Structure 1
Amino acid sequence: MSTSTRGGRRTSPLTAQDVWRAIGHASFAVLSHVTPAGAPRSSGVVYAVEDDRLYVAVAKDSWKARHVAADGIVAVTVPIRRGGLLSLIMPIPPATVSFPAVAVVHPGDHLTRMPRLARLVPPERWPACVILEIRPTGHFVTYGLGVPLTAMRDPARSRARIPTGR
């Protein structure tokens, strides 16, 4: 990331590009929304990033496809693994990026034009899929991104709020 730290302090602010780079290196997120009946729902999803958007393949008949199509308002949290090999022997919390977003449901045939996402879905499941295109809105809210592990104990140093646009 272009953000550097000195003595545990951030010397330059995180940018949207820094956040997109971190999101692009991950592939798992938690997608949340409210059902038409007002009930909260969240689900883990595997995604691919292209052109400042996340793309998720889901079953045509899934609650995600039905409910997201109803209003398109979602929230996303992406955990970003930290600690390298040390995280294998010690419990190190991930950094996170959270943001509100608008989601649009596209036909599953979009997979043929999206090789990054297509690699995540077995070809035999393609006919039963639709694609969620998720466009962040507002701000990314980060925790622990661009700071050393020791700074994660200090909320003021470990959190950032960055506009999602480039």
Structure 2
Amino acid sequence: MVELTTDAVWRVLAKQNFMVIGMISARGQARTVGVMPLVLERTLWFTTNTQEWHAKHLAANPEVSVTVAIPKRVPFVPWIKIPAATITFSGVAEILPAAQMPREAREKLVRGLELGGDERGALIGVGVRPTSDFVTYGVGVSVLGMRDTEKARGRAPSG
């Protein structure tokens, strides 16, 4: 198992531009959505609108799972297919009006968007805080190191 620190995992997360959030709908059905996150103060932030289906699911049940895929490739031979490294964890989502998001998150995520409402509802910020350890695969190991599944696995406290 690869030795990872909490800070090392947060640094990797801060470089990523896509994550998948798993949630449970009000009817008890599993759903996922891909979003573009921003890491700020050990919280992953993204925006959406109040009328979007995932905003309604998160409001009904804020407990989520998060998976972040980190692309891997072999330099100079990009046609060789390499599985992505991953970071996954459980968390809780907090929904705020966009105007109440932390200033830095709002400035980076809301740029050019209307804060008021339209047919899709008002713009909101969602902050996801981890509540479990980070479970990783392929983080902190080379592409060749990913062949050994035992050595490619990792775990670190989320904070």
User: What TM-score do the two structures reach when normalised by structure 2?
Assistant: 0.87
Match of 2:99 in 1: 109
Question: Which position in structure 1 is the counterpart of 2:58?
Answer: 68
Provide the residue aligned with 2:46 in structure 1.
Answer: 56
Letter in 2 for 1:126: L
Give, as a single letter, the amino acid of the residue that structure 2 aligns with 1:159: R
Residue 55 of structure 1 deviates from its aligned partner by 0.4
Match of 2:112 in 1: 123
The match for 2:119 is none
Which runs of no fewer than 5 residues in structure 1 stay unpaired? 1-8
2:12 aligns with 22
Match of 2:127 in 1: 133
Unaligned runs of 5+ in 2: 117-121
Mapped partners of 1:107, 1:85: distance in 2: 43
Percent identity at matched positions?
A: 34
Change (3 A) 1:107 1:87: farther
The within-5 A match list for 1:29-48 is 29-48=19-38
CA RMSD of aligned residues (A): 2.0
Distance 1:73 1:87 in 2: 40
Deviation at 1:84, TM superposition (A): 6.2
Structure 1 outlier segments of 4+, above 3 Å? 84-88, 117-122
Change (3 A) 1:87 1:126: farther
* CA 60–114 in structure 1, closer or farther in 2 if over 3 Å, else same: farther
| 2:154 matched residue in structure 1 | 160
Aligned length: 154
- CA drift of 1:155 comes to 1.4
Question: d(CA) in 2 for partners of 1:120 and 1:101?
Answer: 21
Deviations 1:64-92 (A, max 9, x none): 21111112100000111222644743222
